[in-house]
């Protein structure tokens, strides 16, 4: 136990792929705490075995979070230091731990973070998109209807957006983003720090052409800008011109959208909102 009256909960970031990125401090903490709380003990066993760490492990995940938090608090009350880790990267970032941290704070125990790799920041700094201001959103809702509502709420946000996504949902997510955000720059990073690490940079529409992608993914998307809002106004004027030539508004919006690589449906909705029909 570190100096002080109470035990410590260590929030330990672990490698996201390449095990050589582990820090000496991370290894020291994992060796010296009484217990390591893992998102999945089977996954963590690979890391611990690689570095010959034999500290006792327990599970702490979304399905047992409340019960496990009580057990960890009990250990801390007994003066035993505990480390919380996720399968990769930082605990609490799109992973469980928020409930535990708040209860530990309430009980007055010490909390120490142990720095390490983070997939969102790795992808952001190599994306080619602005890094001065950004929003980490994490995973969208698994249901397409809810995911679309979340994207609609984000479409006017002016800063770079960071998402996590699973390989089996990435194509649907890119399609939804193209529909809601229109023609924005984006970067899809996969398998970060691993042997097959790669970055795909382009527009959302161009990324929609990618298929059969595997591995953990981070998607970086350009934020909304005043310039883009002006572009929308210009596009609506072109829809107006086609309508005056006799085309139905919905068809006109679709045609302009196809020409400029933006969502025809979104143009049509904006057209209706302005009462042009």
The answer to whether residues 112 and 84 touch, using CB atoms and an 8 Å cutoff, is no
Domain count, the chain: 3
Sign of the four-CA dihedral 258, 223, 98, 79: positive
Please report the sign of the dihedral spanned by the C-alpha atoms of residue 254, residue 260, residue 265, residue 271: negative
Low-confidence ranges of the chain (pLDDT < 70): 1-5, 226-230, 261, 275-277
In a domain, 182, yes or no: yes
Distance, in Å, from the CA atom of 103 to the CA atom of 259, rounded to the nearest integer, reads 55
Residues 113 and 12 reside in one and the same domain: yes
- One domain, residues 238 and 153: no
Q: Report pLDDT for 3.
A: 46
User: In this structure, what CATH number is given to the domain that contains residue 23?
Assistant: 3.40.1010.10
- Partners of residue 218 on adjacent β-strands: 164, 189
Whole-structure pTM value? 0.79
Question: pLDDT value at position 266?
Answer: 81
In sequence order, the 6+-apart residues with CB closer than 8 A to the CB of 220 are: 123, 124, 127, 129, 160, 161, 162, 163, 186, 187, 188, 189
Query: Residues with Cβ < 8 Å from 233, sequence gap 6 or more?
Result: none
**Domain containing 175: what range?**
120-224
E strand intervals along 92-149: 110-114, 134-139
């Amino acid at each position: 136990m570190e100096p002080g009256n109470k035990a410590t909960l260590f929030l330990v970031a672990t490698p996201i792929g390449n095990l050589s990125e582990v820090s000496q401090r991370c290894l020291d903490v994992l060796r010296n705490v009484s217990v390591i709380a893992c998102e999945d003990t089977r996954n963590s066993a690979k890391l611990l075995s690689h570095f010959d760490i034999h500290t006792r492990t327990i599970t702490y995940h979304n399905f047992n979070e409340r019960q496990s938090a009580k057990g960890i608090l009990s250990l801390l009350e007994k003066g035993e230091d505990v480390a919380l880790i996720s399968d990769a990267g930082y605990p609490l970032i799109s992973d469980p731990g928020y409930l535990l941290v708040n209860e530990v704070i309430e009980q007055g125990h010490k909390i120490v973070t142990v720095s390490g790799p983070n997939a969102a920041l790795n992808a952001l700094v190599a994306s080619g998109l602005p890094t001065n201001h950004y929003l980490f959103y994490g995973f969208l809702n698994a249901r397409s209807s809810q995911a679309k509502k979340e994207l609609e709420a984000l479409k006017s946000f002016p800063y770079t957006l960071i998402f996590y996504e699973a390989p089996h949902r990435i194509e649907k997510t890119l399609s939804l983003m193209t529909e809601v955000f229109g023609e924005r720059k984006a970067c899809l990073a996969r398998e970060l720090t691993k042997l097959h690490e790669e970055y795909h940079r382009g527009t959302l529409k161009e990324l929609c052409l990618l298929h059969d992608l595997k591995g953990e993914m981070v998607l970086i998307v350009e934020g909304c800008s005043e310039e883009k809002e002006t572009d929308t106004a210009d596009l609506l004027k072109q829809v107006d011109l086609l309508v005056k030539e006799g085309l139905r508004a919905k068809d006109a919006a679709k045609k302009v959208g196809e020409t400029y690589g933006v969502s025809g449906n979104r143009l049509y909705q904006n057209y209706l909102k302005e009462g042009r029909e």
